[in-house]
Amino acid sequence: MTEEYSAEVKKLHTEMVRKLSGNLAPVWNLKIKWGELLDSLSHDNPLSQAEIQGISTMQQLFVALMDKRFIDYGKYGPFEKSLRPIHPNMASAVKQFQAKIIAQIAKEEKKRDVALTPKIGKDTVEEVGHDENEDWDEIIEDDEDKDERSAPLPETERLKLQAEMLLELSDCLGEKQKDDWAKFMTNLRVYFKAGVLADIHNVMDAFNTLKKRGHLKLGFYDVLKDMVRPIDDDMVTIIDKFSADINRGLPARERAPIGKGTKRRMSYRSKGNLAEGQASMGSQRNEQPTKKSRHS
């Protein structure tokens, strides 16, 4: 990724895609306009016929267009132009969301600029922000104090953010990322036997199964982060950003740590996966304390 976007920007983007999905899809009376839209974007403009044939949802279409750099967050002009003759109302909706996203990005950039602007006093110049050598625990404590002054989100809002997080992770582990999905499924073997894995076909299935077995809960996603970290750090960033929003305002004891403190080794529980886990950790296995026998 060449540029990082905030959770709020991605939330607006997701809302736009969902709105489009309700009006353009390969179902019933929406099929004709859906076909016209795909046709307008085919013939390497920018998608090939083979790529078009693999697209069956608006979400997949946007992923493909962003992969081609045809569009980006807040930059939907070429897509809006293709859509306007087919569905003017939805083209206008895209334009409205584009304006909101551009405004949000500008707002965040301004906020960052202000945070980095030196405060000039009579005798001193103090730079706002944390020194890179500053103690990490002190930074975390300061951030926690700020969070605790704000009211926690209602559980319904937290669940909504969690769903949006899973939607973004699904974009990173979709059908087109077969190699990454295979790695993800391999990591799941640490927790589940083959019979359970056979029922997992997407990120949502994996999340629900991990949650059902007690490995995840609302706001606590360490196990999920451990699984995606070896695949793509961008997914860890996504989880951290949404976790911060989901847990904002909660007492520190009710929140999962974000950032450096969350990195840990995966626990290899079954005998079959123990050797695999030790091999994957390489020399780190020598750091593990020897487990004493109950009879010693």
pLDDT for 288 equals 44
Q: Do domains 7-115 and 155-248 have the same CATH topology?
A: yes
pLDDT for 281 equals 40
For residue 34, count CB atoms less than 10 angstroms from its CB and return exposed for 0-12, middle for 13-18, buried for 19 or more: buried
Fold annotation for 7-115? Death Domain, Fas (1.10.533)
pLDDT for 202 equals 85
| Gap between the Cα atoms of 20 and 90, Å rounded | 7
What architecture (CATH level 2) is domain 155-248?
A: Orthogonal Bundle (1.10)
For residue 98, count CB atoms less than 10 angstroms from its CB and return exposed for 0-12, middle for 13-18, buried for 19 or more: buried
CA-to-CA separations, 88 to 25, 73, 82, 83, 93, in angstroms, rounded: 16, 21, 10, 7, 9
CA-to-CA separations, 211 to 75, 196, 208, in angstroms, rounded: 36, 13, 5
- In tens, the pLDDT along 135-182 reads 544 444 455 444 445 688 888 888 889 988 988 888 888 656 788 888
The residue extents of the domains of the chain are 7-115, 155-248
| Residue range 267-294: mean pLDDT, rounded | 40
Beta strands 125-126 and 119-120 are antiparallel
| Gap between the Cα atoms of 281 and 266, Å rounded | 10
SS (H, E, C) 124-192: CEECCCCCCCCCHHHHHHHHHHHHHCCCCCCHHHHHHHHHHHHHHHHHHCCCCCHHHHHHHHHHHCCCC
SS (H, E, C) 207-267: HHHHHHCCCCECCECHHHHHHHCCCCHHHHHHHHHHHHHHCCCCCHHHCCCCCHHHCCCCC
| Gap between the Cα atoms of 251 and 155, Å rounded | 15
- In tens, the pLDDT along 195-242 reads 888 888 888 888 988 998 889 888 889 999 988 999 888 899 999 989
- Residue 290 is given by DSSP the state P
pLDDT for 97 equals 93
- Rama region for 128: left / alpha / beta (φ>0; ψ in -120 to 50; rest): beta
- In tens, the pLDDT along 22-65 reads 888 888 788 899 999 999 999 888 999 999 999 999 999 999 99
- In tens, the pLDDT along 61-93 reads 999 999 999 999 999 999 999 999 999 999 999
Contact 179, 185 (CB under 8 A): no
Residue type, position 240, single letter: D
Place of tokens 């582990």: 173
Q: What is the pTM of this model?
A: 0.41
pLDDT for 83 equals 94
3-state DSSP assignment of residue 30: helix
Contact 121, 132 (CB under 8 A): no
Instruction: State yes or no: pLDDT of 261 exceeds 80.
Output: no
